Structure 1
C-alpha cells in the first residue's frame, strides 16, 4: 500500500471516523455551514486534500470546520490546529504502566481489533513519543493483576502456549498472517484470561507476560501485513506494555523494531527512526550482537526512506559487523530470523530506496540464493523488489522472470502486503506490453486475479 493511501493527518481521521465522509463531502458540509452563517467560503475537495497534507486552514475555515465537527469554541481556545479535532479514543495512552493497566489495555485491544477500519495510523508524533517515553522510563511492575483468586495454571499449559507461538512464527514466515491472525488473537485472549482471572506463580507470570508480548507483536505484524494499520498499532502498543511488564527489555525492543516497519512503510520514517533509537537506548549494555544487528538494519531502512544515505550506510555497516560476531548463548529465541540473508535483503531494499538499483540487485541476488525455501513470503516481497531494480536498469526480461516467480509463490501466501508488491511489479511492466514475455505475464496475472 502506498503511503498516500494511509491516513495520518487528524483531519483525515476525523473525516473518516466521525463523519464517514469523503473529502468532497466534507468540503460541501463546510460550504453549507458557511452559507448558514452568511460566510462566503469556496472550500473544495482540493482544499481539504491540501489541509490533510499539512496546510493550515485560515481562521474562518477553522471556525466552520469546528461547526461541522460540533467542537465548541471553548474547547478550541488555546489549542493549535489540528489538535482540537476529534481524536481516536486510545486508553492505551492513559492506562498506568502496571500489570493491571496492561491487562486493561490488552482487553481493549482484543475487543476493538476486529472492528478496525483500514488505512489509519493512529499513533504518531506526540502520541507516539508519549508511549516511547513511558516504556523507557517507567519501572516494570509484574504484580498479580487478577480480579480474584482464581485457580493455578498447569505448567503444561504454559509450555503448550510457548510451543504454539514458535509454530505460528514459522507458519507466518511461510504462509503470511491473513488466516493465522485469528488463531494468534484467540491465543492472546487465552493468555489475557490467565493473567486477569487466574493466579499464576511468579515464574508463570513472567512467562505469560512474555507470551502476551510475543502474541501481540505477531498480531500487530499480521494486521499490518494486511493493511489494518490502526489495529496493528494497538496490538503493538499492547505488546510493548506486556514486554515491559515481563521485565524483558529485549522483547520490547523487538516489538518496536516490527512497529517501525509499519511506520516507514506508510511514509513516517522519522517516527520509525525514533522508535528504533529508543529501543537501542533501552537495550544498551543488555543486548547481544544479533539483536543489535537487527535494530541497526531496521534503522537503516528508516534512514533510507528518509533519504539519508550517509547515515543509512553507517547503520548497514554496523549491522553487518555485528553479525560477523556470530551467535550468542543469550540470543532470544525470537531472533532466529536475524541472519545474513535477512540483512542482505534489507540492504537491497535500502539501495533501491536510495536510487542504486545495481547495488540493490546484487544484494537481492545474494540473499535469494542463501534464504531457505520455507521463507515463502520473504521471497515474494524481495523478488518483487528485485524486479523493480532490474527494470530500472532496463533488464526487462529479467524483471519479467522475477515477477513471474513472485506471482507463482504469492499463490500460496495470504498477505496483503505481498499481494500489493506483486501487483506493483506487474503494473511497472505495462509500458513494455509489446514484448511477448511481458504480454504472457500480464495475461497470467489477470487470470490469477479473476
Structure 2
C-alpha cells in the first residue's frame, strides 16, 4: 500500500527523492556510519516498503530538521511503534514512564545497540524539554515496594562522585559500562522505592538525574551524540519527577552546551534563556555565572558580538568573588565554576574570531593548574591554547604548547582527545608543506601518540 504520509511529508519538505537520499547519506556520515540509499530506495518506501530501522530514523531526522518540527519514523509509517528503542519520544504526548525509558536506554547502551549508539543528534529532542508538562512526567512514574532513606541518597551521590572523578582523570571510556549497569541495576530500582519522606524521594530522583547526566557525558565524550542527547533528556525528566526546577534548569544548560559542542546550536539560545528565567534571583552567584557564560557563547555563535561580550563580562563579575561552596550539589559536582566561566568565555571569543582573547582565557583557565584531577579537560584546554596560537600564525609557540597537551593526553581514553590530536595535525598541514622544523617534529610525536593510543 502506498505510503501517502511519507509522500506528502517529502513534498512538504521540498525534496526530490534524490535530495532526500543524499541528506540521509550525509546524516549517516555525521554519526560515523554509512547508509547506502538512493532515489530508487525512496521510491520503494513511498510505494509501501519499509527500510531498516536505522535508515527509517535517519529519514525522520532529516525531515524534522528540514521542516522545523518533530517527525518520527512511526509518524511516517516507516516502522511500527513496537519496533523498539529508537522510538523514544520526540513529542510530549509520546512520553511514558521515564524510569522505564531510562532502563531501555541503558540496556541498549550496554548491548552496544547500533541503532542507539549511532543515533543522530535530533533537533526534535532538543526542543522537547521546552514543551514538557512537568505534571505529566510526575504522573507517569509508579512507585513500587521497598523502602529508602537518606543513606541510599548518599550512596548514589558518592558513587556518582567516584565515577565522575575517574571520568575527569582518565577519560569517559573508563568505567562507562559499570556506570550504566549501576543505573539500570541499582539506581532505577531505588527511584521506584517507597521513601520514608517526600524530601528523601526528591533527593534520590535528583541524585539519579546527576548519574544519568554523567552517562550522557560519557556518551558525548565517545562521540555518540544522539545517545548522549537521549540520556540528557532522561536526566531532565527525572528533575521534573523530583519537582526540582533549579536542577532542571541546569540540565537545560547542559542541553544548550551539547548543542553548541556538536554544531547543532539552533535551539541553544532558547534553552539557555529558559534556564535563566527559572534561576534568576534564586541561586548563588557562582551557579548563575554558569548560565550567563553559556548564554554569552550562544550569543557569540549567533553573531551578536556586543551582547556576547556583555554577557561574558557579567559572568566574570558574578564568579569573581563567589563562594563556590554555596553551589548546589548537582552544579558543584562537575568542577570549578570559575574554570568553566573561563573556558566558555574562551570559546565565545573563538566563535567571534578573537583568537588572541581566546588564547588568554584558555591559558588562564583553572583547569590548567588542577594537577591530574581534571587531566582530560586540562589537556583539551592546553590543546585549544595551541590552536589559538596557530591561528594567529605563531606556529613555533603552538607546537611547544601542543607538546605539553600531548603529555597530558597520555592514558586518557576519550574521543574528544583523539579529535583534538587530529585537529593539531590538520592545523600543521600548511607548515609541514613549508618544511617548518617545529611542525615536522610535532607531527612525528603525533604519529607516535596515535600508534600508542590505538593499542
TM-score range, shorter chain: 0.7 to 0.9
CA distance in 2, matches of 1:68, 1:267: 34
- In structure 2, the partner of 1:262 is 258
Give the counterpart of 2:37 among 17, 20, 26. Answer: 26
Question: 1-side partners of 2:261 and 2:37: how far apart?
Answer: 28
- Cα shift readout 1:270-306 (whole Å, capped 9, x = no counterpart): 2222221121122234222222110111222222233
1:139 Cα deviation (Å)?
7.5
Partner of 2:132: 134
What is the CA distance between 1:16 and its match in structure 2? 5.0
Out of 62, 66, 75, the position equivalent to 2:46 is 66
2:436 matched residue in structure 1:
435
1:432–1:260 CA distance, 2 compared to 1 (3 A) = same
Question: Contact 1:221–1:259 at 8 Å: present in 2 too?
Answer: no
Change in 2 beyond 3 A, CA 1:121/1:397: same
Q: Which residue of 2 aligns with 1:283?
A: 279
CA shift at 1:70, angstroms?
4.3
Instruction: Report the more deviating stretch, 419-428 or 164-173.
Output: 164-173
Report the Cα distance in structure 2 between the residues aligned to 1:435 and 1:376, rounded to whole angstroms: 30
Deviates more, 1:108-117 or 1:175-184: 108-117
Kindly tell me: are residues 12 and 96 of structure 1, through their superposed partners in 2, closer, same or farther at Cα, counting changes over 3 Å?
closer
* Deviation (angstroms), 1:186: 2.0
Q: Distance in 2 between the 1:253 and 1:26 partners?
A: 40
Structure 2 residue 244 is the aligned partner of structure 1 residue 248: yes
2:162 to 162, 167, 180: 167
Say if 2:212 and 2:231, in contact at 8 Å, map to a contact too.
yes
1:228 corresponds in structure 2 to 224
Evaluate the alpha carbon distance shift between residue 379 and residue 191 of structure 1 in structure 2; reply closer, same or farther with a 3 A threshold.
same
Aligned pairs for 1:48-63 (under 5 A) are none
Task: Measure, in 2, the Cα distance between the counterparts of 1:9 and 1:107.
Answer: 33
Compared with structure 1, are the counterparts of its residues 187 and 117 closer, same or farther at alpha carbon in structure 2 (3 Å cutoff)?
closer
RMSD: 3.4
Contact 1:260 1:271 in 2 (8 A): yes
Residue of structure 1 in register with 2:393 after alignment = 394
Q: Could you tell which deviates more after superposition, 207-216 or 160-169?
A: 160-169
Runs of 5+ unmatched residues, structure 2 = 1-19, 52-59, 80-85
TM-score between the two structures when normalised by the length of structure 2: 0.77
CA contact (8 A) 1:297 1:316 kept: yes
Q: Distance in 1 between matches of 2:339 and 2:151?
A: 36
Count residues with an aligned counterpart: 396
> 2 CA distance for matches of 1:321 and 1:124?
33
SS at match of 2:146: coil
> Is the CA contact 1:270–1:302 (under 8 Å) kept in the aligned structure 2?
no
Change over 3 Å in CA distance of 1:340–1:275 after alignment to 2: same
More off after superposition, 316-325 vs 408-417:
316-325
Measured at CA, do residues 439 and 271 of structure 1 come closer, stay the same or move farther in structure 2, by a change above 3 Å?
Answer: same
d(CA) in 2 for partners of 1:105, 1:385: 37
* 1:16–1:441 Cα change, 3 Å: closer
Counterpart of 2:174 (choices 176, 179, 199) is 179
Note the C-alpha offset of 1:90: 1.4
Q: Aligned partners of 2:106, 2:93: CA distance in 1, in Å?
A: 15
> Counterpart of 2:294?
298
- TM-fit CA distance, 1:259: 2.2
- Judged with a 3 Å threshold, the aligned counterparts in structure 2 of structure 1 residues 406 and 447 are, in CA distance, closer, same or farther, namely same
| Change beyond 3 A, Cα 1:357–1:15 | closer
CA shift for structure 1 position 235 = 0.6
1:8-27 mapped onto 2 (5 Å cutoff): 12=24, 22=34, 25-27=36-38
Match of 1:146 among 131, 143, 149: 143
The Cα shift of 1:165 comes to 1.4
C-alpha deviation, 1:426, in angstroms = 2.4
* Offset at residue 213 of structure 1 (A): 0.3
Indicate the residue corresponding to 2:16 in structure 1. none
Q: Tell me the SS of whatever aligns to 2:37.
A: helix
Q: In structure 2, what is the Cα distance between the partners aligned to 1:307 and 1:365? A: 24
Deviation of 1:429 after TM superposition, in Å, equals 1.1
CA distance in 1, matches of 2:33, 2:389: 41
Distance change (3 Å), C-alpha of 1:105 and 1:140:
closer
Distance 1:282 1:139, change over 3 A: farther
Any gaps of 5 or more consecutive residues in structure 1? Answer: 1-7, 34-61
- Are 1:349 and 1:385, in contact at CA under 8 Å, matched by a contact in 2? no
Q: CA deviation at 1:355?
A: 0.9
Cα offset, 1:155, TM superposition? 4.7
Q: Equivalents in 2 of 1:301, 1:403: separation in Å?
A: 25
Q: 1:428 is paired with a residue of what secondary structure? A: helix
Does the 8 A contact of 1:290 with 1:338 survive in 2?
Answer: no
How many angstroms apart in 1 are the aligned matches of 2:448 and 2:90?
A: 44
Question: Post-superposition shift, 1:339?
Answer: 2.7
The corresponding residue for 1:359 is 357
| SS of equivalent to 1:141 | helix
